[in-house]
Structure 1
């Protein structure tokens, strides 16, 4: 079987890291397994045409098996209300394709130093599952600015939205190895249930879903406390589930503890569609200089293979995903081709070539 991959390079370093990922995926599986369809979209495309996500790109994404995205956004390219155009590309895809679970693995990779000095690879390995279509971000484009004196946005949490993301988090925990500290399968609900009824409702619905998962330990943390726990005891966590905004914030904090956004992959998943991209921005200040770190997008490509393998029962893809991750780990562990943000000299091209060379040895 072959798979159609809607591929949007986007802006800034997006084309560089996307092309690097496509090269490695082709090397893993050959050119006839994944069929990449390059599509328009992003802030640069908006500047040329007035569209950040052309209708034909959305249609191709809807008809594809998966979506691979580089990055989107350029400085100063905003709508009249001041919000950034680039963000709208994946937001439109998110809502249009009902990608309700944003999955952010937080894993300390070999050869990468954590700012948490007592932690080594293997001791930070958890996943943040962020509800992706509701929460405070549901108000984007619909908030109220009254006479330039008052502004408001609404926080939206529904039973359906919470149930499905809570179930997703519990099922994900079952598939994992448990928290590094004690091996327990654990889902932590991150909220502000002590202050706002909306978050108390979120917690209550998560509790109701967890009744069906008596093998998963329940845990809770208020979001302010969570910012402390992710620094003081990251090894305690297995899967964390949170509302949209809170999940967005703690995901970036988690990424900082394992080296930064350059090693932070992400997936936005629904029942039928999946979008995969590095969690970083488009970094236009280094675009075209071969200075980009491709690791986040490479790891997102491995996540794409895993997701496709699960949905289509294709063992070729799960084995390829495992080889992909192992090759990245080996290159980092060897320390000869360290990305510049980790004190090395390797740009996007050199690091990608090192991964390809490592794959040739396995």
Structure 2
């Protein structure tokens, strides 16, 4: 087993430094001093303002050689490129494409202590994962769209067999590892698309069907992107794993997060065959930056995702056990109800939330 594991940390912008360092503190407490080696690196919109680089070459090289990357948040209001797109997002977008992080993993789980706006769904009754294809789709056109005389603007939707097949296989493999949907216990992959309208999505669905043939033990289900937004509210317990094209996956992931407490509790992973980037699903919230008001929960849970991914890759049970302890400690703190972050209706500061989780560990 390779130890210590080399973890690059990029604090980023806004609340990024606060939540990233909170996650580092929890990870260090759960894993001990010899299992992880943290390597802080620069990057993000604020670094771009100072240097003209959102992802410095030395940061990229460190990310490429590291076992995993932990990121706080990126982006600042008004810091944009000449075409109007945000600079901060380009940090993880560059890493996404350069490191081929083709699968975006968004767990949607209702924890004890986090109240769902959906009536009748207690903790554990909402528990599924959205797998978003991360390198193709409509977002593959970022920076490459056509703006003709300021009159006509186009971006192309890109779907390839290789890209769809590997993300579908990732989704089916994940379903095999899970316990099935809360409603009926069945292992199921739902394909989210618009196959009734566009050929790209019909192709996406067809390739998913081909992959399904290798997984007779996992059901396949289909949902159009518009209809699934209703189903995710009416019957969220039906879902186990959902796989979607880049843009649709982006949209429904935030909807799913809203059903289990919001983006402040939503973990996120971007993984490929060799690299992984982990960060909370929320933004940089510059309006509360530096005030110790941010919730570190999403980043802490993303750190647990990182440990699980590393544990699977390296066959290291110490990492997967530590991940389970972090998730259990976080849920226990929320369920107790004494230390609750502001986004979930409490008054706990970032440091108070971090200390409570560490104490529970």
TM category, shorter:
over 0.9
1:154 corresponding residue in structure 2: 156
Question: Following superposition of structure 1 onto structure 2, how do residues 176-191 of structure 1 map, counting pairs within 5 Å?
Answer: 176-191=178-193
1:108 corresponding residue in structure 2: 110
1:322 corresponding residue in structure 2: 324
User: For 2:262 and 2:77, how far apart are their aligned partners in 1?
Assistant: 21
Shift of 1:117: 1.4
User: For 2:343 and 2:85, how far apart are their aligned partners in 1?
Assistant: 29
Question: Following superposition of structure 1 onto structure 2, how do residues 1-362 of structure 1 map, counting pairs within 5 Å?
Answer: 1-359=3-361
CA RMSD of aligned residues (A): 0.5
Q: Give the TM-score, by structure 2 length.
A: 0.99
1:112 counterpart SS class: coil
5+ residue gaps, structure 2: none
User: For 1:100 and 1:56, how far apart are their aligned partners in 2?
Assistant: 23
User: For 2:150 and 2:138, how far apart are their aligned partners in 1?
Assistant: 21
1:304 counterpart SS class: helix
User: For 1:343 and 1:24, how far apart are their aligned partners in 2?
Assistant: 22
Shift of 1:347: 1.1
User: For 1:152 and 1:28, how far apart are their aligned partners in 2?
Assistant: 48
User: For 1:30 and 1:235, how far apart are their aligned partners in 2?
Assistant: 36
2:9 counterpart SS class: strand
- What is the CA deviation profile of residues 177-229 of structure 1, one whole-angstrom value per residue up to 9, with x for unaligned ones? 10000000000000000000000000000000010000000100000000000
Which 4+ stretches in 1 moved above 3 angstroms? none
Greater Cα offset, 31-40 or 130-139? 31-40
5+ residue gaps, structure 1: none
Q: Give the TM-score, by structure 1 length.
A: 0.99
Shift of 1:243: 0.1
Aligned pairs, how many? 359
